[in-house]
Structure 1
Amino acid sequence: MIIFILIINIMVLSSCSFNNQTSSDKLVARLGDNYLYKSDLKQLNNYNLDQYDSIYIYTQFIENWAKENLILNKALINLDIKDLEIEKRVESYKNSLLIHSYEQNLIKQKLDTLVSINEITEYYKNHLDDFILSNKILKIIFSEISIYAPQIDSMKFWFFNSDSIYFDKIEEYSYQYSKRLFYNQDEWVTIYDLEEFFANKIEFYNLTDKNNTIFIEDSLSYFFIRLTDFKDVGSYAPVDYVKKDIIEIILNKRKLKMIEIIKNKLFDDAKKSNIFEIYENI
């Protein structure tokens, strides 16, 4: 009923126009002396919605516009604007936006984003205690293979053999016959990611150096899981696991240092050219 009434109101009011709008613009809603026009709703046209969803979105937009204006009117009536220092706050916010935008442009233009392996290693060694694991992480091989795949006995032999010389055979066979495959010996994954991926059907905490394989089968597939490396909770994270975090930290430090250097140079230049002065009678 609310949507139907709103549509009727839009149709009735659409024939009206006001001096601050073009004659072709359609009036959509009014709240006291505040008016909402069709041109104000253009941003909603970017969504590909069916008719029902469009009506709902437009209704919500119009109602939110009315509610914001109602609370604003109440604020204007009940608050002393002078005490709020609105203009100072707006000016401060505008200045912050301008400074931030300028700094971001400088960073894009001048920041050296190359971080060497030596820098990463040095930071890692100097901040080891920052990289203590709160979750167990693992490196695994996972392969789901049809029960009808050929030479499945060979795959079982390679997979459960403790000798790593068969990894190439496992990889070659898996790429040829796997339905699903995870074979990236450079990637660490948390135990929670694995449990989520397998819908908590597999106890990955049971995987250890001595018990490093899991084999499951159903009516359609064999599931092969092999642990190749792991780090327990409380141990130091491997440097390759935290490499991206370290790069981000180093770049953030560079950004802060670069901005500080620029600010200090501008400040020194302003003093030398007498643009900036401090008077003694503070």
Structure 2
Amino acid sequence: MKKKLFFLTFLICFFGCDIVSDQDSLNIAKYGDTYLSEKQFVNMMDGVKKEDSILRANSVINNWAIEKILTERAELNLNEAKLQKIGSLVKEYKSSLLSEAYLEALINSTINLEIDSVEIQTFYEKNKALFKLNDDIFKLAFIELPLDFSDTYQIRSKIRRFKTEDKFFLDSISYKFKNSTLNNDKWITKKELREEFPFINNYSYKSLKNYNFFQFKDSLSLYLIKIIELVENGEISPINHVLPTLEYMSLNKRKKELMLSIKSEILRDALQNKKLEIF
């Protein structure tokens, strides 16, 4: 009952829109034979901040009442042709929603969601022009050393060369580093690079690209950055960089093909069962 009274405190009702206060009904208001239930009201108030709740509650109830009043008067005052046109649009919209929902349910229950690597590779090869880069992308190795590190020269030499034995050595002593990334298969863009390393300006970016290496020292650390792989702006993206896009495109292609197949099948069945006749 307290909850009911809390809701009703906010109600500003119109003439003909009555407060329903019986405990069993769980309604907030009624207009004619139409009720605004407590459940509907709570859903309409979802996400409203506490400080805005009074104004929002008044608005929700008043708007509900206005809609019901206008609907009733429209049905009484609009001409028959207009009402028929609206009714036809409502039926078409309902039919469209139902058919789309059912078709989507059929597709989702039937479609194969497994990733086919051969299909992905074939799609990539046929559509490479779609995957031309508009930014440089990199795979990097990175080490952050404390300024008092005992053998900076050795670490610098090994990350610059970064052969298998160098990588193994660096990985074995990585616990001594302040931070490091030595096994990074992720591609990052130029924008992401500069966000991760704010000290890289236009000049140092060119230096990094020219020498595949850059170092920077501030008051806290020495930063060593090594380019493992680089693909430049305007070149075709590596397949693993665009794999999520390829997977999405492949799935979307399957959905379209399956949708056409389902539509053809239901049409054929309707014709065979003589539920559909075309004159």
Q: Is the 1:207–1:227 contact (alpha carbons within 8 Å) kept by the matching residues of 2?
A: no
**1:122 alignment partner in structure 2:** 122
Structure 1 residue 237, shift from structure 2 partner: 0.8
Segments of structure 2 that go 5 or more residues without pairing to the other structure are 1-5, 13-17
Structure 1 residue 122, shift from structure 2 partner: 1.3
**1:139 alignment partner in structure 2:** 139
**1:56 alignment partner in structure 2:** 52
Structure 2 counterpart of 1:123, one-letter code: F
- Give me the whole-angstrom Cα distance separating, in 2, the residues matched to 1:115 and 1:9: 55
**1:191 alignment partner in structure 2:** 190
- Give me the whole-angstrom Cα distance separating, in 1, the residues matched to 2:155 and 2:187: 24
Structure 2 counterpart of 1:198, one-letter code: F
**How has the CA–CA distance of structure 1 residues 240 and 45 changed in structure 2, closer, same or farther, with 3 Å as cutoff?**
same
**1:268 alignment partner in structure 2:** 268
What's the C-alpha RMSD, in Å, of the aligned pairs? 4.0
**1:156 alignment partner in structure 2:** 156
Aligned to 1:186, the other structure's residue is in SS state coil
Compare 97-106 and 78-87 and name the one that shifted more: 78-87
Structure 1 residue 70, shift from structure 2 partner: 5.2
Structure 2 counterpart of 1:18, one-letter code: V
Structure 1 counterpart of 2:225, one-letter code: I
**1:97 alignment partner in structure 2:** 97
Aligned to 1:277, the other structure's residue is in SS state coil
**How has the CA–CA distance of structure 1 residues 11 and 192 changed in structure 2, closer, same or farther, with 3 Å as cutoff?**
closer
- Give me the whole-angstrom Cα distance separating, in 2, the residues matched to 1:30 and 1:270: 45
Structure 2 counterpart of 1:10, one-letter code: T
**2:172 alignment partner in structure 1:** 172
Compare 78-87 and 184-193 and name the one that shifted more: 78-87
- Give me the whole-angstrom Cα distance separating, in 1, the residues matched to 2:145 and 2:70: 67
Q: Is the 2:111–2:254 contact (alpha carbons within 8 Å) kept by the matching residues of 1?
A: yes
Structure 1 residue 35, shift from structure 2 partner: 8.1
Q: Is the 2:136–2:190 contact (alpha carbons within 8 Å) kept by the matching residues of 1?
A: yes
Q: Is the 1:124–1:246 contact (alpha carbons within 8 Å) kept by the matching residues of 2?
A: yes
Structure 1 residue 201, shift from structure 2 partner: 4.5
Q: Is the 2:41–2:60 contact (alpha carbons within 8 Å) kept by the matching residues of 1?
A: no
Q: Deviations over 1:65-107 (max 9, x none)?
A: 6457658867987995854833333333333332333233323
Structure 2 counterpart of 1:264, one-letter code: S
Structure 1 counterpart of 2:106, one-letter code: L
**How has the CA–CA distance of structure 1 residues 23 and 272 changed in structure 2, closer, same or farther, with 3 Å as cutoff?**
closer
**2:15 alignment partner in structure 1:** none
- Give me the whole-angstrom Cα distance separating, in 2, the residues matched to 1:61 and 1:94: 30
Q: Is the 1:120–1:246 contact (alpha carbons within 8 Å) kept by the matching residues of 2?
A: yes
Q: Deviations over 1:203-231 (max 9, x none)?
A: 47425554111212222222221111111
Q: TM-score, normalised by structure 1?
A: 0.73
Is the aligned partner of 1:231 residue 2:231?
yes
Q: TM-score, normalised by structure 2?
A: 0.74
Structure 1 residue 110, shift from structure 2 partner: 1.8
- Give me the whole-angstrom Cα distance separating, in 2, the residues matched to 1:24 and 1:77: 26
Structure 1 counterpart of 2:20, one-letter code: F
**How has the CA–CA distance of structure 1 residues 46 and 66 changed in structure 2, closer, same or farther, with 3 Å as cutoff?**
closer
**How has the CA–CA distance of structure 1 residues 130 and 149 changed in structure 2, closer, same or farther, with 3 Å as cutoff?**
same
Compare 96-105 and 187-196 and name the one that shifted more: 96-105
**How has the CA–CA distance of structure 1 residues 150 and 101 changed in structure 2, closer, same or farther, with 3 Å as cutoff?**
farther
**How has the CA–CA distance of structure 1 residues 166 and 251 changed in structure 2, closer, same or farther, with 3 Å as cutoff?**
same
Q: Is the 1:155–1:173 contact (alpha carbons within 8 Å) kept by the matching residues of 2?
A: no
Aligned to 1:222, the other structure's residue is in SS state strand
Q: Is the 2:167–2:182 contact (alpha carbons within 8 Å) kept by the matching residues of 1?
A: no
